[in-house]
Amino acid sequence: MESTRRRTQPSSNGKTSEHMEQPAQWGRAWEVDWFSLIGVISLLCFAPFIVFYFVMACDQYQCSISQPLFELYSGETTLLSIWARSPSFTWSAAKIYAIWVGFQVFLYMCIPDVTNKFIPGYVGGVQDGAQTPAGLINKYEINGLQCWLITHALWFANAHYFHWFSPTIIFDNWIPLMWCTNILGYAVSTFAFIKAYFFPTNSEDCKFTGNIFYNYMMGIEFNPRIGKWFDFKLFFNGRPGIVAWTLINLSYMAKQQELYGHITNSMILVNVLQAIYVLDFFWNEAWYLKTIDICHDHFGWYLGWGDCVWLPYLYTLQGLYLVYHPVQLSDAHALAVLLLGLVGYYIFRSTNHQKDLFRRTEGSCSIWGHKPTYIECSYQSADGGIHHSKLLTSGFWGVARHFNYTGDLMGSLAYCAACGFGHILPYFYIVYMTILLVHRCVRDEHRCSSKYGKDWKRYTDAVPYRLIPGMF
Ligand code: NDP
């Protein structure tokens, strides 16, 4: 275990300084308990089947997730017959996917960002990431917004002018494409695993636990790269995953139009609310460099396979459901969903913005019209350097310790509620996001507590709730 020396500094609120020794933890664990190991092995075994089950339920059972289970239980069907009815791998899907990923690699690597030169307020181009445990600061080429704009401009140009392919192409190849995404997801995770042993980008930032399953899933290398600029984390999370999200939704919308001759208000709501979330991600891609994914998670199957398969298939279940069930919402229902989505987004964005502004200006800013209050902390990195940091205790960060997650969950609930109440399949997303963000919150707080020690305790005393004031 990493041993660090740390000391606290006098805070702006005039609290006293103290000196102490205490272990700090960055990123994922060094040691694996049995509980984590069982969780890891279960996820490795079952996550691909969960994805298959949901997509198959829509394809064969009109999005009912209980019907296949009932039929299996009563003997009306068998696992083999479900498998036999499922579309298999096709070379045309492989060609589509290879062109798609190749095109995203090309945009990511070969077209430096120019949008930051003419879009006011947008931060793109070469940006610094956060300091790694070994004390490194990586540089990133931030061009995600540009890639998203070019990709979508081409999509619309094709749909309305060139007609190279049908806008329903993604829906029409959805299951064959799933096999291709799995091939890439497993290939990239396995490559990252082997690379960490034989040619790591920065060996000082690698973490080995001695448990092969845990290493494979949670990753060994912190910031694996090929060459100077191809960063695995930034590319795989943003490009084949999040750029695809809005295209997949557009393909579902086109399919609804093709099948029923009209587009429902629920489909428009899902497309608009999720597009806001995706555009927000790319607008703030430089900020993403400071999130847990980049600052603390190592790159393994969790990120590699998750970005290639889990994200595009399960984050888009609402649109898929609406192709099979074209729900037309009442005006009141649609308005309630829109409000929930927008308020959730506002909380999510403002909370993240407050922390970013506060950290960037080192506290010399205004939050809700006042000078921010904070707790000052210090910690030591693996290279022995002493660093200082501040934990904000005003604005949304004074309401709860992860109010950004609360806003995110409100937005997620809005996507699900847009699908009406006919089936539970579209509600998978809110259940999953709640588990993901509560787990992430606990994981992050455990790490912060190790990193900041008594200062973290002072912070949790000042802001006692995690997500919902008065409840949790
Ligand atoms: P945060 O942006 O909340 O970052 C947590 C880190 O911020 C902590 O590790 C700590 O880092 C620092 N911090 C904690 N408290 C404070 C404070 N009071 N003042 C200043 N800094 C503080 O978490 P994430 O990176 O997980 O999430 C970013 C956003 O991404 C969230 O809005 C989340 O909802 C969203 N998200 C969405 C996902 C999706 O799949 N849709 C998945 C994951 C996240 P330090 O060590 O620097 O002090």
Closest CA to ligand 1's atom 2: 291
Instruction: Please write the tens of the pLDDT for every residue from 219-261.
Output: 999 999 999 899 999 999 888 889 999 999 999 999 999 999 9
Please state the atom number of ligand 1 nearest to the C-alpha of residue 296: 9
* 408 touches ligand 1 (CB under 6 Å): yes
Separation of CA 297 and ligand 1 centre (Å) = 12
Q: 46, 56, 40: which is closest to 178 by C-alpha?
A: 56
pLDDT tens digits, residue range 413-437?
999 999 999 999 999 999 999 999 9
294 CB-near residues (< 8 Å, 6+ apart): 129, 130, 223, 233, 234, 288
Helix orientation angle between 244-260 and 265-283, rounded to the nearest 10 degrees: 170
What is the average pLDDT score of the chain?
90
Q: Please report, to the nearest 10 degrees, the dihedral formed by the alpha carbons of residues 431, 432, 435, 437 taken in order.
A: -110
For ligand 1, whether the C-beta of 391 sits within 6 Å is yes
Pick 44 or 341 by higher pLDDT: 341
Indicate whether 5 pLDDT > 70. no
d(CA 217, CA 304): 9
For residue 209, the model assigns a pLDDT of: 82
Q: Cα 27 to the chain's mean position, in Å?
A: 16
| Interatomic CA distance for residues 4 and 40, integer angstroms | 28
pLDDT digits (tens, 9 = 90+) for 181-208: 999 999 999 999 999 999 999 888 888 8
Indicate whether residue 444 lines ligand 1 (CB < 6 A).
yes
| Mean pLDDT confidence for 272-292 | 92
Half-sphere exposure of 287 (CA within 13 A, CB side): 19
Q: What is the pTM for the complete model shown?
A: 0.88
Determine whether the shortest distance from the Cβ of 389 to ligand 1 is under 6 A: yes
pLDDT on residue 29: 59
Does 325 sit in the ligand 1 pocket, CB within 6 Å?
no
User: How far is the centre of ligand 1, averaged over its atoms, from the C-alpha of 294 (Å)?
Assistant: 11
Which tens digits make up the pLDDT trace of 114-171?
Answer: 999 999 999 999 999 888 878 888 899 999 999 999 999 999 999 999 999 999 999 9
Q: What is the pLDDT of residue 360?
A: 87
In short, whether 353's Cβ falls inside 6 Å of ligand 1 is no
How far does residue 357's CA lie from ligand 1's centre (Å)? 14
Is the pLDDT score of 89 beyond 50? yes
CA of 277 to the centre of ligand 1 (A): 16
pLDDT tens, residue by residue, 388-419 = 899 999 999 999 999 999 999 999 999 999 99
For atom 28 of ligand 1, which residue has the closest CA? 291
Q: Is 53's pLDDT higher than 50? A: yes
Q: Is the pLDDT of residue 333 over 60?
A: yes
Reported as a pLDDT band with limits 50, 70 and 90, residue 27 is: low
Q: Which two tokens stand for residue 123?
A: 């931060």
Query: How far is 241 from 254, CA to CA, in rounded Å?
Result: 20
